[in-house]
Every structure is written in structure tokens, then in C-alpha cells.
Amino acid sequence: MWLYVVLFGLTFVQSCALTLCALQVGRWFRILDFPDKHRKFHERATPRTGGLAVCAALVLGVGEAAWLGSNGILPGVPHLDGTVWLVVSAVLLCGLGLWDDKFGMSAGAKLAWQAAGVLPFVLWGRTTTTGSLFGWQLDFAGLAIPIALFWLVSCVNFVNLVDGLDGLAGSVGLIVSLAVAWLAWWHGQTEVCLLALILSGALVGFLVFNRPPARIFLGDSGSLPLGFLIGALSLEASAKRAAGLTLAVPLVLLSIPMFDTSMAILRRKLNGLSIGQGDRAHIHHCLRDRGWSPAQTLFAICSMCTVTALAVVAATILNNDLVAIAVSGLLLVTLIAGRVFGFNETVLLARHLRAVVLFLQSAPRTLRTKFVAVRLEGTPLAGQLELWNKIVERAERIDARKIDFTCEHLPSGKELAALNWNSDSIEDSEGPIWELNYAAPRGRGVQTRIQARGLAPYGSGILWLSELAELFVALCIHWPVSDADAASTESEEVDDLPPQILTARWGTSSDVVEIPVVPHRIVGRDAA
């Protein structure tokens, strides 16, 4: 055990020295994070090159461990041959993050390069094609590489998105790394245990300068490789020789940053925003908005991560994945139910799901409405009277009070056809109302118009109102207008008829919303 302590301490000292160097590098090359008083509240421009120190300390630690072991100076050091591709991917991601910190990248390009950086470890590192969850054995077969790639890129972004508070990403990475070290030691995976402790030493050395108020930030050059490292090491620590991966271990270990990222994606998509668009609704922002100090917020989130790490330890000792899943699930439910974090996103999701259910329920009725309109195109007067009866039937369901349809020759003012319907109910003029008006030019100065009004419906009544409007349009544009009707008038025809407009008024205000309807070209016997 003293071997691990020596390497942890050696990496810690190196990380402290390298972080001091990274401070100067950030200032020299102007790789700085400037406050904006919206999402970034630090007092001065701060270097964000801490990731360089963490990655350099990790590479040095791994190299020193390999050299000490190969030369017999520290007996018991495991062979680190399988670690090469892990370090290669971490270094590639560090370079990608450094470029993004300095020059910036679009979200799509950044995601693509993240996948490219992770690929060496996925293709040539240690992989497994089997896993277990709740005692069920899963065989990934050909899906092992895509699943591993998706998981590792996701972990990269879990840590990247949670890195919005002094010391937060580094502390979360440290907790997960220590848990991974214990799991690897429990399973007899000395190489993974040593790697996790080296990473822990590098993070502790960096956190000396990153604790609130931070003198240096991790930056993308640190959050990207850190997310990859804890994702990859958690996979390796959860691998049992017989059962393959224990899937509950990495999921629970990273459940807090995973939950924060999932809520961010859900929140932005449901609000019509880009996933890559930043906001002030992450878990650390929510705690800060409650009046918590940065230190209190950091302690709270680290405590949550510690709870999930201890749950994984307990589940491993008891050999029962359900323990870890139950503890993690209870913690997340408590955050939502207590309106600490995730409550607004959950309510927003529930409303969208309700809208989908209402749409699916109304879909058959809407389809029947469209069939009625299509079936009666070009039908004679009797068919249009059937459509009129359909309109009246639907209007009654949403408390319609009056419907008037006219077909007239505008230049002469001659009325060619008229249909009227009035409800037997007494109209309540004081309540909210709805009104629909539609007019369609039919050629040779002929115009069809329909007007309706009634009491404003609630709930699904709005869907009925939309269907009623569609039937209004169908009746007006397909009402039979013969050449004789148009020619029987003595006035000259006009070409400048008003455009087709569907107007709607909702509520008690006098504001009218005009909704342009796609013009329908009248052909055949109705043509001008």
C-alpha cells in the first residue's frame, strides 16, 4: 500500500509546481476567462490553463511509475502497457480543450473532435463486450465500440458542463477517482487503482489553487480529459473478470453530473434553444440563486457526489446493484421534489407529454375532418349542404351561438346563396367569446364568406375550434358557383377582390388576430 501513497504524493507535489507554471502560461498567452456578471462572477480575468497542469502531472506520474517499476526501484508497480492509449486520448482531449479555450469552437465541431480524441482508447484500449445489471447478463457484441464511444463522449460533456464553479469539476473528479481507486483495489485491478490514485494526486495539487476564490480555472483543457479519464477508469474499475462490466457502477458514480447535463439538454430543447447555448440554470446556479455562497454550494454538490460514491462502495461490498441505484434515485427524486434542482424541467416535460397525448387523442378526429373536406371537393350543392351540417355539428360542441354563410356577387351586391344557423341557447355576452371569419374570392366578382361566434371553450375545445376553421375554408372554396350565377348579374366583374383572410378573436378584448391562409387557385367551372 505504501507504493500507492508514494506515487500519490509525488504526483501531488508535481501538480502543485506545474499549476504555478500553468498560471504564468495562461497570462503570457492570454488564455483567460473574463467575468461577464451574468454567468461568470469572478472578480478579475483568470487563467484557464489548469488542465495543462493536471494532464502534465498525470503523464509524468504514469511515466515515473512505469520507470520505477521497470527498474525495480519500487517493487510491486504493475505493468502499465495497457495505459498508453488512455494517456494518448487524454492528451488529445487536452489539446482540443486548449484550442477551444484560446480560439473557441462551435458546438458541433467540438463534439466531433471529442469523438476523434476518444477513439484511440476505444479502438485499442482495454474493452469488454459483456456487462451485467441486476444480475442480467448483457452481450454487446458489435455494439461494444459505439456504446463505449457514446459513454466516454458523454462523460467528457458531463464534466465540461458542470465546470461552472470554483473547484467543482476538480472536486467531482477527485471523489470519483478515489471511489474508482477503491473499487479497483477491491477487484484486484492494481493498474487501474494506481492510475486512479495518480489522477487523484494531480487533482489535489490543482485544487490547492482552484478552491474558492480560484486563482486558476481548469478550462476545457482540463474538463475534457478529466471527464474522459473518470469515465474510462470507472468502466475499467467496474469490470469483473466473469461478469464483464457492472453497469450500475459508472452510472451511479457519475449520476450527479449526468443529471445536471440531462436537465440542461432537456431544458434547452423544450424551450427551443440550442443544446450548446449556455444558461444560468445548472445545479450550482440554482444553489447560488438561493443565496448560498460558492463554498457552501461546492460543499453541497460534493456531498451529493460523496453519497453516490459511498452507495457504489456499499453495493460492491453487498454485491447488490440495487443498493446503488436506489440511493442515487432517492437523491435525485429529493432534489426534484424539494424544488432544489430539476423541478421546472420535470414540469416542462410533463406539459409537453400532455400536449403529445392530447394530439394523439385528437388525431383520429382531425383526420376525419380532413377526409370530410377532401371528399366533398367538387361535389354538387347537396354535398356542400352535408358539409354545412358537419360544421353546425362541430360548432355546437364548442358552444357556438351563430353561423352565417353567404355567397354574393360583390360588384352588384346580389346574394347568390345564404345559410344561417342560430343556437337555441341564450348567449352569455359577458363571458369570453370566440369569433371566426373567412372570405374567399371565387372569380367574376363572386365571393363566399362565413362568420361564426360563440362562447370560448376550455381544454380540448381549442382543438375543435381549429377543426371548425378548416371546415370553414373547405366550404368557402368548394361551394358550387356556376357561370350562370356569375353572368346573371349586370355589373362588371372586378379583379381586385380582397385576399383570403382567416381572422380570429379570442377572449373579451377587441384585438383581432389576422391569420393569412394559403390561397387556393379556383379552377374548372369556378375559374374567372
> What are the structural domain ranges in the chain?
2-254, 365-526
Of 409, 412, 389, 391, the closest CA to residue 400 belongs to 391
Alpha carbons 93 and 114: distance in angstroms, whole number: 7
Query: Binning pLDDT at 50, 70 and 90, where does residue 278 land?
Result: confident
Of 259, 258, 315, the closest CA to residue 134 belongs to 315
Pairing outcome for strands 130-133 and 136-139: antiparallel
Does residue 203 have a pLDDT over 90? yes
Query: Binning pLDDT at 50, 70 and 90, where does residue 514 land?
Result: very low
Instruction: Give 377's DSSP letter.
Output: T
Average pLDDT across the chain, whole number: 82
Alpha carbons 236 and 253: distance in angstroms, whole number: 13
Per the CB < 8 A criterion, the answer to whether 190 and 184 are in contact is yes
Of 253, 254, 261, the closest CA to residue 342 belongs to 261
User: 256 or 397: which carries more pLDDT confidence?
Assistant: 256
Instruction: Give the pLDDT confidence score for residue 58 in this predicted structure.
Output: 96
Instruction: Give the pLDDT confidence score for residue 510 in this predicted structure.
Output: 47
Instruction: Give the pLDDT confidence score for residue 360 in this predicted structure.
Output: 81
Mean pLDDT of 227-233: 95
Does residue 152 have a pLDDT over 80? yes
**Which residue is listed with cell 461568470?**
40
Of 337, 324, 524, 329, the closest CA to residue 443 belongs to 524
Domain topology for 365-526: Beta-Lactamase (3.30.450)
Does residue 476 have a pLDDT over 80? yes
The C-alpha cell that represents 473 in the structure block? 375554408
Query: Which range is least confidently modeled, 6-10, 81-85, 150-154?
Result: 81-85
Alpha carbons 139 and 157: distance in angstroms, whole number: 26
Instruction: Give the pLDDT confidence score for residue 304 in this predicted structure.
Output: 97
Does residue 215 have a pLDDT over 80? yes
pLDDT in tens, 347-363: 999 988 988 887 787 77
Task: Tell me the DSSP string of 185-204.
Answer: HHTT-HHHHHHHHHHHHHHH
Mean pLDDT of 108-132: 86
Per the CB < 8 A criterion, the answer to whether 156 and 44 are in contact is no
Instruction: Give the pLDDT confidence score for residue 173 in this predicted structure.
Output: 96
Mean pLDDT of 240-263: 82
Our CA angle for 403, 359, 469, nearest 5°, is: 20
Instruction: Give the pLDDT confidence score for residue 8 in this predicted structure.
Output: 93
Mean pLDDT of 331-342: 95
Instruction: Give the pLDDT confidence score for residue 423 in this predicted structure.
Output: 85
Query: Which range is least confidently modeled, 334-338, 415-419, 479-483, 517-521?
Result: 517-521
Query: Which range is least confidently modeled, 104-113, 304-313, 435-444?
Result: 435-444
Alpha carbons 447 and 439: distance in angstroms, whole number: 7
Instruction: Give the pLDDT confidence score for residue 455 in this predicted structure.
Output: 80
Instruction: Give the pLDDT confidence score for residue 4 in this predicted structure.
Output: 81
Does residue 490 have a pLDDT over 70? no
User: 184 or 497: which carries more pLDDT confidence?
Assistant: 184
**Which residue is listed with cell 432537456?**
266
Burial class of residue 19 in the structure, from the number of CB atoms within 10 Å of its CB (0-12 exposed, 13-18 middle, 19+ buried): buried
pLDDT in tens, 69-92: 676 665 555 666 668 899 999 999
183: phi then psi, degrees, rounded to nearest 5: -60, -40
What's the gap between Cα 71 and its chain centre?
51
